[in-house]
A and B are shown apart, each in its own frame.
Chain A
Amino acid sequence: MTTTQEPLTNRSASEEHNYPTLLRIGHKYVTTLGQRLAVGGFRGPQDIAVSPDGSYYVLNRGSANLQQVPRTRYVRVNIEDEGYENDIVPEIDGLVLSEGDDRLPSPVMCVLDCAATLFNTDERANAVVAINTSGETIGVWGESGDGPGHLNGPSGIALDADENLWVVNSRDHRVQHFTRDGKYLGGFGELGNQPGQLNHPWGISVDPVDGTLVVADWHNSRVQRFSTDGTAMQIIGSPGTGVGELDHPSGVVVDRYGDIYVADRNNHRVLMFNWRGNFIESFRGDATINPRGISRLMGNPDILRQRDNIINLDREKRLKYPTSVRVDNEGRLFITDTGRYRVQIYEKLCRVLQPHEVEDAALHVDPGLN
């Protein structure tokens, strides 16, 4: 069952804030990108970067050959026709990463800045890799260590309103602030399970409404909100498998209304909380086969027969180890469904209520009669 966490600081309705009141209509399933393929598909997709021009960059970690070391590989996807353009693979020291190249073996998460540069963390190389969307490497920065500005198993990465980067250090439980070319600006965090402490954090998102930071506190199975100076503000979710509970959350994203989507990775679902930290709804996956997948199946009579004999096809549409969640300006939600080689897309439906349209909360004492 859900356990509602007491906010650490007062984020109740009476607080002065800019979060709109919403009439929640729901989420509409839109489509599924990708299929199990090392070429023209995904293998080990970790995250997706959303571009304003309608292109999406899916960050892959798996190799074509399961026996080989993983490598960094983006796939550019066009949502309109589900077209796959060329792979984008970083080039380091004049050498494009090839199969078996272990220089950037462990990409974790990525973001796209306003200048169309992709930034991704690499948790073993202890690096942030910047490449442009044509695949040219702009820079690789990061120094291994536990000190200020050092990287230690970097995972989550997010841009703030000033186009600076927040980077999560999974291995020393810290969150650090950098310019896009790697200049250290500040940071906070320490190991523990008390409020404000972290245990192997993973994803991070900047709340677009108030600029606070929301961090997936992975091994504590919760999400925490911090001010940019590191003050703990809120704990969202608690460990478990029940309603509103989290089991090792990985990705997290806050949309323009302050709603928090969390990739509840080991529960194979995505949860949404409102800005107060209350659980609102969950997503378990609704995947459909896209035209490319259909074309693929049509070439394989035996698989068509096998599929015709399947008893429970429900399993196929469900999320499996969803790793990241992202949103775009159109109100779409992207779930990187790592264990199923795909990205599932939803569209948020809601209406922002004007103050005159909704009863004043201050007068309201939850009668629950209607």
Chain B
Amino acid sequence: MTSTNSIVNGGNNRADPVLVVLQLSGGNDVLNTVVPYGDGLYYDFRSTTGIAEDQVIHLDDHFGLHPEMGPIKDLWDRGDVAILNGIGYPEPDRSHFRSMDIWHTAEPEKIISDGWLGKVIRDLDPDKHNVCTGVSFGTGLPRAMYLSGTPAMSVAQLEGYGLLTSMAGEKQRRALNAFTRMYTPEEIDEQSTLMDHIGQTGLDAMAGADMLRAAPDHYTSTVEYASDPLSQSLRGIAQVHLSGIGTRVFYAQIGGFDVHGNEVNMQTELWANVSRSVSDFFADLREHGADEEVVMLVFSEFGRRVRDNGNGTDHGSGGGAFLIGSNVNGGFYSDYPSLDPSHQLNGDLHFNNDFRSLYSSVLDQWLQLNPSPIVNGTFDQFEHIVSPLAS
């Protein structure tokens, strides 16, 4: 492994396409996100949680967005939002954890540990030049970004991020000096392979942390993000991207979509939050002339039951996803699954698009990577869903 700083040293490295993955944890209720208000069955099944036609933000004469998604509608009007209906995988699993693992590993049949974005990072930076090629904002590295031997960084928040953060001032500076010296690999170490591995990993972590912590230093923006964690994560992503350290894959997440109860209020809060955060993020990128450099993929581990349970909905299958960005060719992709009971899958929307088709499209058309080894097979792509970054 070579040292991290060399190729990015303060330079502006924004020539390559960047992918931001936004995870909506808990199972987003697609039926109340992209609402089929023109279908009477929707109101039959959603007697208590259904959204009235006059509140839905109409996209066409049949579908509309949740009332809080106005900022997303603005992006849609710019042609920047692709809506992917009926995304899922065969034999849906209604466990949050297993279903999330399936999305993270791109493998619904076997239980494997390699994350799909971990493989993306590996393929984007095979020589491990940049420990910050993949950066996740949130608590802990998502499995999607985990691949043994491939470094990725995990940041709770940029401010105060780093090693030995429980120490302060002069003491921390001394400690970091000592850390650097203690970790610098040396061939004469008795167990040199293992000790060198720990040493190099420690130095990489420190270099990566230094780059990330310095990212906000030269950042200014007129966009005022809200104080919620997702807004702050996306702000951090904008800062890191604009700093030009060459991060290619970002991860952000927001939880709370598990609306078994009190769905109407909870979804209102959540989508107000997501819509504003995402809209601010793209406004920020536009302000810096960087909006064409980024594509955002929004997904959730599954959708929810067609029939509501009294004041919420339970775990279902057949989710939906969004692809957002200036280079995205906006519009609906594929048919909305039928609500007709005879077409449902055990009370769920029947998925009609494999999520690995979406991954493959993004990998091939945007990141210019060969999708097959990453998604564990060959899948039909959504044609021209995103245009490549102009060089």
A38 to B314, CA, bound (A): 13
Instruction: State whether the Cβ of B141 lies closer than 8 Å to any Cβ in chain A.
Output: no
Count CB-based A-B contacts (< 8 Å): 46
* Contact of A302 with B94 at beta-carbon distance under 8 Å, contacts A37-B261, A40-B260 already known: yes
Q: Which of A271-315 contact B (CB under 8 A)?
A: 292, 295-302
Task: Say yes or no for A12: interface residue by CB 8 A criterion.
Answer: no
Instruction: Provide 19 A-B residue pairs closer than 8 Å at the C-beta atoms, listed in order of the A residue.
Output: A37-B260, A37-B261, A39-B260, A39-B262, A39-B312, A40-B262, A41-B260, A64-B258, A65-B255, A296-B310, A297-B309, A299-B309, A299-B310, A299-B313, A300-B305, A300-B309, A300-B314, A300-B347, A302-B346
Q: Which of A297, A298, A299 has the most CB of B within 10 A?
A: A299
Which chain B residues lie closer than 8 Å to A64 at the CB level?
256, 258
Residue of B whose beta carbon sits closest to that of A65 = B255
A: number of interface residues (CB 8 Å): 16
Residues of chain A with a CB closer than 8 A to B261's CB? 37-41
Beyond known contacts A296-B314, A300-B347: 5 more, CB 8 A cutoff: A39-B260, A64-B256, A292-B310, A295-B310, A299-B310
Q: Which residue of B lies closest to A301 (CB)?
A: B347
In the assembled complex, which residues on chain A have CB atoms less than 8 Å from the CB atom of B255?
65
CB distance from A201 to the nearest CB of B (A): 35
For residue A39, which residues in chain B have a CB less than 8 angstroms away from its CB?
259-262, 266, 312
Chain B min CB distance to A60 (Å): 13
Interface residue B284 (Cβ < 8 Å from any Cβ of A): no
- B305 contacts A299, C-beta separation under 8 Å: yes
B356 at the interface (CB under 8 A from A): no
Residues of A within 8 A of B313 (CB): 299
Any A CB within 8 A of the CB of B280 = no
Top 10 nearest A-B pairs by Cβ distance? A40-B261, A295-B310, A39-B261, A299-B309, A296-B309, A301-B347, A39-B262, A299-B307, A299-B305, A301-B346
| Chain A positions 141-200 with a Cβ under 8 Å from a chain B Cβ | none
Q: Are the CB atoms of A298 and B346 closer together than 8 Å?
A: no
Query: How close is B160's CB to chain A, nearest CB, in angstroms?
Result: 18
Bitwise interface map of B from 192 to 221 toward A, beta carbon under 8 Å scored 1, else 0: 000000000000000000000000000000
Asked if B311 lies at the interface with its beta carbon under 8 angstroms from chain A, I say yes
Which residues of B have CB within 8 Å of A296?
260, 309-310, 314
Docked Cα-Cα span, A41 to B260, in Å, equals 10
| Residue positions of A touching B, CB distance < 8 A | 37-41, 64-65, 292, 295-302
CB-based contact B307/A298 at 8 Å: yes
Instruction: Please give the distance in Å from B130's CB to the nearest CB on chain A.
Output: 31
A302 near B347 with CB under 8 A, answer yes
Contacts of B347 in A (CB 8 A): 299-302
Question: Is B114 an interface residue when CB atoms closer than 8 A count as contact?
Answer: no
| B293 at the binding interface (Cβ < 8 Å) | no
A128 to chain B, nearest CB (A): 29
Contact indicator B260/A298 (Cβ below 8 Å): no
Q: Is B308 an interface residue (CB 8 A)?
A: yes
- B130-154 near A? 1/0 per residue, CB < 8 Å: 0000000000000000000000000
By a CB distance below 8 angstroms, the chain B residues around A295 are 309-310
Determine the distance from Cα of A64 to Cα of B261 in the docked complex, in whole angstroms. 11
* Minimum C-beta distance from B192 to chain A (A): 39
Query: In the complex the two chains form, what is the Cα distance from A77 to B62 in whole Å?
Result: 39
Cα of A351 to Cα of B228 in the assembled complex, Å: 59
The docked-state distance in angstroms from the alpha carbon of A295 to that of B308 is: 8
Cα–Cα, bound, A301→B310 (Å): 15
Q: Are B314 and A299 in contact (CB under 8 A)?
A: yes
- Measured CA separation A300–B310 after assembly (Å): 12
Q: Which of B256, B259, B309, B313 has the most C-beta atoms of chain A within 10 angstroms of its own C-beta?
A: B309
Taking a contact as CB atoms under 8 Å apart, the answer to whether B308 and A299 are in contact is yes
Which residues from chain B contact A299 at a C-beta distance below 8 Å? 305, 307-310, 313-314, 347
- Provide the residues of chain A in CB contact with B258, threshold 8 Å: 64
**B258, closest chain A residue (CB):** A64
Contact with A along B309-331 (1 / 0, CB 8 A): 11111100000000000000000
Min CB distance, B92 to chain A, in Å? 10
Would you give the shortest CB distance from A4 to chain B, in whole angstroms?
Answer: 47
Taken together as a complex, chains A and B put the C-alpha atoms of A277 and B245 apart, in Å, by 75
The docked-state distance in angstroms from the alpha carbon of A80 to that of B374 is: 56
Distance (whole angstroms) from the CB of A71 to the closest CB of chain B = 15
Tell me the smallest distance from the CB of B308 to a CB of chain A, in Å.
Answer: 6
Cα A302 to Cα B256 in complex, Å, equals 23
Kindly provide the distance from the CB of B240 to the nearest chain A CB, expressed in whole angstroms. Answer: 25
User: In the complex, what's the smallest C-beta–C-beta distance from B46 to chain A, in angstroms?
Assistant: 10
Which of A40, A65, A302 is B311 in contact with, Cβ under 8 Å? A40
Name the CB-closest residue of B to A302.
B346
- How many angstroms from the CA of A242 to the CA of B309 in the assembled complex? 42
Say how far A81's CB is from chain B's closest CB, in angstroms. 12
* Chain B residue at minimum C-beta to C-beta distance from A291: B310
